[in-house]
Structure 1
Amino acid sequence: MNSMQDTNIKLMECLLSWDPLGYGTDSYETEVVDVIEAVHRYDDRERLARRIQSIYEFSFEEIIPLPVCQKKASELLMIKNSGTCEL
């Protein structure tokens, strides 16, 4: 498996286990795909966090607090930059 596929799988696993709004971890498939796209687009934690926040807000009309999004953005950028998820 190439490193991009491996990274995407790790990003997906990290996001699919996240339940930021309490709907259950199986409620966010569409958002996971959008967030993975954003991870590849942004290298800045703040911009990525705001994008994550807007993706979930658009879908669920609820706002995830920015510090929660910043923490997840940091984790995702760590995976993207190192290829591992250290949680």
Structure 2
Amino acid sequence: MRKELQTNLQYVDLLNEWDPFNLTNGGYDTEIADTIQAIHELDDYDELAKRIQSIYDFSFEKMIPLEECLKIAKELLVIKANDACSI
């Protein structure tokens, strides 16, 4: 369980650094929680990118370009893969 918590914290750090709307002081708690849930459900970059795009669009009513979402989705799934490999 501790490993999963550590991995989730890596997701949180990465998503806070991403800051797609330049909020600088965070403000993405709900979106990060929803994104982490999506990471646990999905293993496909494209599907995860679309889910991330839709999560942030729902909250901010602004569409993040899919290319940006794909980039962050790949980084998140690399963390997930590394976690799975280190058991």
> Quick check: TM above 0.5?
yes
Which residue in the other structure is 1:34 paired with? 34
Following superposition, the deviation at residue 27 of structure 1 comes to 1.8
**Aligned ranges 1:1-80 → 2 under 5 Å:** 2-80=2-80
Following superposition, the deviation at residue 22 of structure 1 comes to 2.0
Q: Determine helix, strand or coil for the equivalent of 1:24.
A: coil
> C-alpha offsets along residues 35-60 of structure 1, whole Å, 9 cap, x if unaligned?
00100100000000000000000000
Conservation of the 8 A alpha-carbon contact between 1:49 and 1:70:
yes
Give TM-score scaled by structure 1 length: 0.89
Conservation of the 8 A alpha-carbon contact between 1:45 and 1:77:
yes
Q: Determine helix, strand or coil for the equivalent of 1:26.
A: coil
Q: 1:41 to 1:25 in 2, by over 3 A?
A: farther
Give TM-score scaled by structure 2 length: 0.89
Most deviating of 22-31 and 6-15: 22-31
Distance 2:82 2:10 in 1: 11
Distance 1:52 1:24 in 2: 19
> RMSD of aligned C-alpha atoms?
1.2
Q: Which runs of 4+ in 1 moved over 3 A?
A: none
User: What residue ranges of structure 1 are gaps of 5+ in the alignment?
Assistant: none
Query: Percent same amino acid at aligned positions?
Result: 47
Following superposition, the deviation at residue 19 of structure 1 comes to 1.0
* Letter of the structure 2 residue corresponding to residue 28 of structure 1: Y
